[in-house]
């Protein structure tokens, strides 16, 4: 075994290992970092913070670099062009408006346009009103200045600098502009006046409502008559009430009256056809023979008919027949064969007027009688008709002349012709003249009531006499109907034929009018252009 040789450490190494005093830091200079393409490359062995490596690259990024990076993205809608814009809703890059409107992007584009339209509509109302109001104020100001200053509107516009000095060639155009401004200022003044009138009318309406309430306060309206209630209204209130009636404002409040003559045990048209077949088989009787036989029976047939109609009155609501109907021979020894046409004329005025007043004969007796006499020349004059058409045309022309026919109901005369046909047809074949006698009896009763309510003096006396004469004519027509059942049936057939003819004419006119209105409508003109 070799012995261990002990060697002594060098002094320098011994000092290094045993010296614990603080040493000086390394003072070697670190090499500068290298920069390549704007990126800092740290030196080998050096510790550099991450911020120092990134911040110089951001600071040195130029606008050109940014544009290159943005242009590098492709439009995600068409996938063929570089994107130029970004949708604020979904952040999708796109290149043009067509891509923005494309079906792939319809959700955002439709919502955008919808919001834009709604916002525009909201702002449009206030903007237009404010603009109109401001323009009106400007025009009114110009008009007032023109009235308070010397000269006309043209001189004022030149003075204010609105209308510059122009050459002689442009004078004509300037005159047109001045006239336009004058007309616009006048229009603005009229609009302002209308608004003030509307405000005053609203205030007046409120005051009128308060006045009417004060007038009706403490009154029992149910106990007042129509004349008393009408007297409580002012002229303006009466005018408004009449206007409401003309425009049909009360149509829904009033129940439409159904004429009693439209009820038949057999349908009216079928009943007329049966009558026509029966009359074609009968032979015409000699007028003298019929007259002699009727005188010999002393009116027994007449009494039987009246009794039959009176017995069914309570069940159907048909007006009762007059109890006393004189014999025709007692009133006229030789009645004209044209009397039947007077019956048609009288029934035409009766049916039209009764429907016009919605069947109300109690509260409007005088108005109803005056209207019947105004329409029927057979009752208010000695007019003689030679045909059914002439009797109907007379009544229709007077309806138009007196203003009883409204523009909204041109078919009223045709319905009146149909009503006369119903009345002359009767309830059934066994009682073909019953409705005719009931209508004439009702007319006779209404005229008698109106006559009894008038005095014998002055204008009322003249009207009373007119009612009396019409009442006597109704009595004569009743007597003729009782003894001319065959002629009444013939008239019924003629009335139904006349109604069919007039109904076809009315439908043709209505169709032609509709076609003309359609041709003249703006929609049709646009289509034709």
Residue 341's pLDDT is: 92
Of 459, 486, 514, 519, the closest CA to residue 276 belongs to 486
Residue 55's pLDDT is: 47
Residue 372's pLDDT is: 92
List, for the chain, all residue ranges whose pLDDT scores fall below the cut of 50. Answer: 1, 50-51, 53-61, 65, 268, 281-315, 523-529
In this structure, the strands spanning 85-86 and 39-41 are unpaired
Kindly report, residue by residue over 10-32, the tens digit of the pLDDT.
776 677 667 666 666 555 566 67
Residue 351's pLDDT is: 92
Q: What contacts 24+ positions apart, CB below 8 Å, involve 116-125?
A: none
Residue 343's pLDDT is: 93
Q: In this structure, are residues 162 and 178 in contact, taking their beta carbons and an 8 Å threshold?
A: no
Q: Which tokens go with 424?
A: 């002359």
Kindly report, residue by residue over 273-304, the tens digit of the pLDDT.
555 555 554 444 444 443 444 444 434 444 43
Residue 49's pLDDT is: 52
Q: Show me where the domains of the chain are located.
A: 261-283+300-512
Kindly report, residue by residue over 319-329, the tens digit of the pLDDT.
898 888 888 88
Q: In this structure, are residues 435 and 318 in contact, taking their beta carbons and an 8 Å threshold?
A: yes
Taking the C-alpha atoms of residue 153 and residue 181, their distance in angstroms, rounded to an integer, is: 8
What is the pTM for the complete model shown? 0.50
Segments in 333-484 forming alpha helices (H): 339-356, 365-375, 377-380, 388-402, 412-425, 434-452, 458-482
Please provide residue 93's backbone torsions phi and psi, each rounded to the nearest 5 degrees: -75, 135
Taking the C-alpha atoms of residue 126 and residue 107, their distance in angstroms, rounded to an integer, is: 30
Q: For the stretch 200-229, what's the b/e string if a residue is b when 16 or more beta carbons lie within 10 angstroms of its beta carbon? A: eeeeeeeeeeeeeeeeeeeeeeeeeeeeee
Q: In this structure, are residues 488 and 414 in contact, taking their beta carbons and an 8 Å threshold?
A: no
């Amino acid at each position: 075994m070799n012995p261990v040789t002990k060697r002594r450490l060098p002094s320098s190494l011994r000092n290094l290992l045993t010296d614990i005093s603080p040493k000086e830091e390394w003072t070697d200079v670190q090499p500068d970092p290298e920069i390549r393409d704007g990126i800092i490359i740290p030196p080998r062995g050096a510790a550099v913070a991450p911020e120092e490596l990134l911040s110089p690259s951001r600071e040195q990024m130029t606008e050109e670099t940014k544009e290159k990076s943005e242009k590098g993205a492709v439009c995600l809608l068409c996938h063929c062009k570089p994107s130029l814009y970004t949708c604020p809703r979904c952040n999708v890059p796109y290149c043009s408006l067509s891509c923005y409107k494309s079906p792939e992007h319809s959700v955002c584009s439709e919502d955008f346009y919808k919001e834009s339209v709604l916002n525009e509509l909201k702002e449009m109302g206030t903007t237009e009103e404010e603009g109109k109001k401001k323009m009106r104020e400007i025009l009114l100001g110009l008009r007032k200045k023109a009235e308070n200053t010397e000269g006309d509107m043209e001189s004022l516009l030149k003075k204010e600098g609105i209308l510059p000095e122009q050459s002689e060639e442009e004078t004509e155009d300037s005159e047109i502009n001045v006239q336009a401004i004058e007309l616009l200022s006048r229009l603005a003044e009229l609009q302002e006046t209308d608004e003030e009138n509307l405000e005053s009318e609203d205030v007046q309406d409120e005051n009128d409502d308060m006045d009417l309430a004060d007038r009706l306060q403490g009154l029992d309206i149910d106990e007042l008559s129509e004349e008393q209630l009408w007297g409580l209204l002012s002229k303006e209130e009466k005018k408004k009430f009449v206007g409401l009636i003309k425009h049909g404002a009360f149509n829904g409040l009033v129940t439409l009256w159904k004429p009693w003559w439209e009820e038949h045990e057999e349908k009216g048209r079928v009943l007329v056809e049966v009558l026509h077949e029966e009359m074609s088989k009968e032979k015409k009787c000699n007028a003298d023979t019929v007259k002699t036989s009727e005188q010999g029976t002393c009116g027994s047939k007449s009494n039987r008919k009246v009794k039959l109609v009176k017995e069914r009155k309570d069940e159907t609501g048909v007006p009762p027949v007059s109890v006393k109907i004189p014999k025709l021979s007692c009133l006229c020894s030789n009645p004209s064969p044209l009397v039947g046409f007077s019956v048609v004329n009288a029934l035409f005025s009766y049916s039209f007027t009764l429907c016009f007043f919605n069947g109300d004969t109690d509260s409007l007796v005088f108005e109803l009688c005056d209207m019947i006499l105004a329409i029927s020349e057979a009752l208010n004059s000695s007019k003689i008709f030679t045909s059914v058409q002439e009797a109907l045309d007379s009544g229709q022309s007077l309806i138009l002349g007196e203003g009883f026919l409204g523009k909204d109901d041109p078919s009223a005369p045709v319905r009146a012709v149909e009503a006369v046909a119903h009345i002359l047809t009767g309830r059934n074949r066994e009682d073909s003249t019953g409705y005719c006698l009931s209508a004439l009896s009702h007319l006779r009763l209404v005229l008698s009531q109106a006559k009894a309510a008038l005095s014998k003096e002055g204008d009322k006396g003249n009207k009373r006499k007119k009612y009396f004469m019409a009442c006597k004519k109704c009595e004569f027509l009743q007597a003729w109907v009782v003894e001319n059942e065959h002629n009444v049936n013939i008239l019924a057939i003629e009335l139904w034929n006349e109604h069919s003819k007039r109904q076809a004419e009315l439908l043709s006119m209505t169709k032609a009018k509709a076609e003309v209105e359609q041709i003249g409508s703006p929609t049709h003109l646009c289509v034709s252009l």
